[in-house]
Amino acid sequence: MSNRPNIILMGIDSIRADHMSCYGYPLLTTPHLDRFASEGALFENTYSAHIPTTCAYASMLTGMDCFGTQVVALRHKGPMRPEAKTIAEHLRDLGYATTCVGFSGNPSGRGFDKYIDYKAWGTREEGPCFKAQSLNEVALPELDRLVAGDQPFFLFLRHMDPHAPYLPPEPYQRMFYHGDECDPDNRSMDPVLAFKPFASFFKSWMPVGISDKDYVIAQYDGAIAYMDAAIATIFNALEAHGIYDETIVIINGDHGETLYDHECWFDHHGIYDNVLHVPLLIRYPGRVPAGTRLSGYNQHKDLAPTIMDLAGIDPGELDWPSAQQFDGNSLMPLVDGEKTSLESEFYISECTWMRKHGWRTPGWKLMVALEPDFHFKPPVELYNLVEDPDENVNLAEQEPEIVADLRRRMESWIAQREAETGLTNPMLTQGDWHGKEGVGAFTSSQQAYDSLFIGDINEGRRLQAEARKALEESANEGEADA
């Protein structure tokens, strides 16, 4: 067997860093991950620059930004460009066995030897959704198989518990809530259930008569705590095999979640920090000192080069198409104290239910709409992240000079990346990004509000299955052409 280390990457969908106890959340939601973090490195300022899932994992798994991957939309059309080689493809070239659990059919998850799915959705009628346990039931036998093999392995696990619907089993259902979720005097859920694009989806999994938004938030926290306990089973399996300390284990979120913030209820669209800020934990004794907490800025594009660095793989060993390379940088200079931060200001984008981009610095956040959104928000938003970290006071009209300066920085960076890649900013080439064929960009917020809709869970499953099939067919066509 090669002396390369085994690698396990757990990508957690829709997890807010600020709802994990190791990141300072006052509720004990992640006791097992807290311990894991204490045995390695916790990165306090990791950001998902490109929202949502498809483009976030594209950067995480390739080490490239959205110009390198050309992926910015949830409903990305066709395969990811072949020049954006995934770490699964790199590691396979170097003799690794690679398995992906819970991410088949997505263009960003290309290149694994084996794909395994599990049940990661549910409805109110079906009762509690055992997402993490369902993952364990397929992942643990696969881990046993990989350990018994004669190759080093890369195992990617995509956890879905914090993703709606939030349906944790007992005792996690009411672990963080004691009260009457249907209290008729509590009207906090009125605006949520009145939001027509998502109302049917919410009603398919939230309790009948739900009136208290705190109950829904508690279900989100309960789902995190349930997942945390299930992840401990994976850690135990690694210990039982005697390989825990010799395995690179990484926990990363693809994006956060809006709960009752910014009127983007219980979803993960928008480019507010509750969606951009994600956890990153790395455990690899002997190379990553225990108890390390790092405040330096980093992004998803920095993960792949960090994995290669930790595994002792020189970039010269990688077989790149054309003249491609990582856009990100290894985080190990931060761990080793050689640097304090990577890029502290950066381009951000979202193309899920809205199409927006912007520029984030440590002190300011600029958000610019590329077309009207279904929340009827202003076309330009500016937030002072020092005085208003929750981004509640839009200063765009009061601070036109700051808006102009941040816009100049953003446009300069876009021009630089277009020149370096020879490719147009993918945020400008999305067409029917929303899935409404032939509609193009929305011309008004009312049009967007009337057009966009999430139905019940079963309808969502059907649409996902159709999308997965189409993506797989496109990917196969792309590979054949290559």
What does the block give as tokens for 331? Answer: 């985080």
Return d(Cα 423, Cα 72) in angstroms, integer.
14
pLDDT at position 477: 55
The rounded distance, in Å, linking the Cα atoms of 172 and 220 is: 10
The pLDDT of residue 324: 79
Which residue in 365, 343, 347, 345 sits closest to 357, CA to CA? 347
What is the fold, at CATH topology level, of the domain defined by 6-179+213-343+458-481? Alkaline Phosphatase, subunit A (3.40.720)
For the chain, the structural domain boundaries read 6-179+213-343+458-481, 347-456
Dist CA 37 CA 448 (whole Å): 42
Helix runs in 107-195, H state only: 131-148, 190-193
CA nearest neighbour of 168 among 220, 214, 207, 118: 220
Please give the DSSP secondary-structure letter assigned to residue 477: H
Per-residue pLDDT, 459:
54
Q: State whether residue 377 is helix, strand or coil.
A: coil
H or E, element range at 119 = none
Cis-peptide into 191, omega within 30 deg:
no
Rounded to whole angstroms, what are the CA distances from 261 to 59, 366, 368, 480?
A: 26, 18, 19, 45
Q: How far apart are CA 259 and CA 219, in angstroms?
A: 11
How many CB atoms within 10 Å of residue 412?
11
38/17 Cα distance (integer angstroms): 16
Residue 1, pLDDT score: 47
Please give the Cα distance from 302 to 49 (Å, whole number). 11
Strands 6-12 and 41-47: unpaired
Please count the helices (runs of H) and the strands (runs of E) in the chain: 14, 13
DSSP H/E element including 100: strand 97-101
d(CA 30, CA 27): 9
Topology classification of domain 347-456: Arylsulfatase, C-terminal domain (3.30.1120)
Amino acid letter, residue 6: N
pTM for this model (two decimals):
0.93
Query: What is the C-alpha to C-alpha distance for residues 101 and 159, in angstroms, rounded to an integer?
Result: 9
Encode the chain (482 residues) as per-residue pLDDT tens digits: 468 999 999 999 999 999 999 999 999 999 999 999 999 999 999 999 999 999 999 999 999 999 999 999 898 888 899 899 999 999 999 999 999 999 998 999 999 999 999 988 877 788 899 999 999 999 999 999 999 999 999 999 999 999 999 999 999 999 999 999 999 999 999 999 999 999 999 998 999 999 999 999 999 999 999 999 999 999 999 999 999 999 999 999 999 999 999 999 999 999 999 999 999 999 999 999 999 999 999 999 999 999 999 999 988 888 888 767 899 999 999 999 999 999 999 999 999 999 999 999 999 999 999 999 999 999 999 999 999 999 999 999 999 999 999 999 999 999 999 999 999 999 999 888 998 889 999 999 999 999 998 875 555 455 445 545 654 565 555 555 54
The label of the residue with tokens 């899920």 reads: 352
pLDDT at 473: 60
Q: Tokens 């304090």 — which residue?
A: 340
Q: Do domains 6-179+213-343+458-481 and 347-456 have the same CATH topology?
A: no
Quick one: pLDDT at residue 457?
52
Half-sphere exposure of 59 (CA within 13 A, CB side): 29
pLDDT reported for residue 126: 84
Cβ neighbours around 163 below 10 Å, total: 23
d(CA 202, CA 180): 18
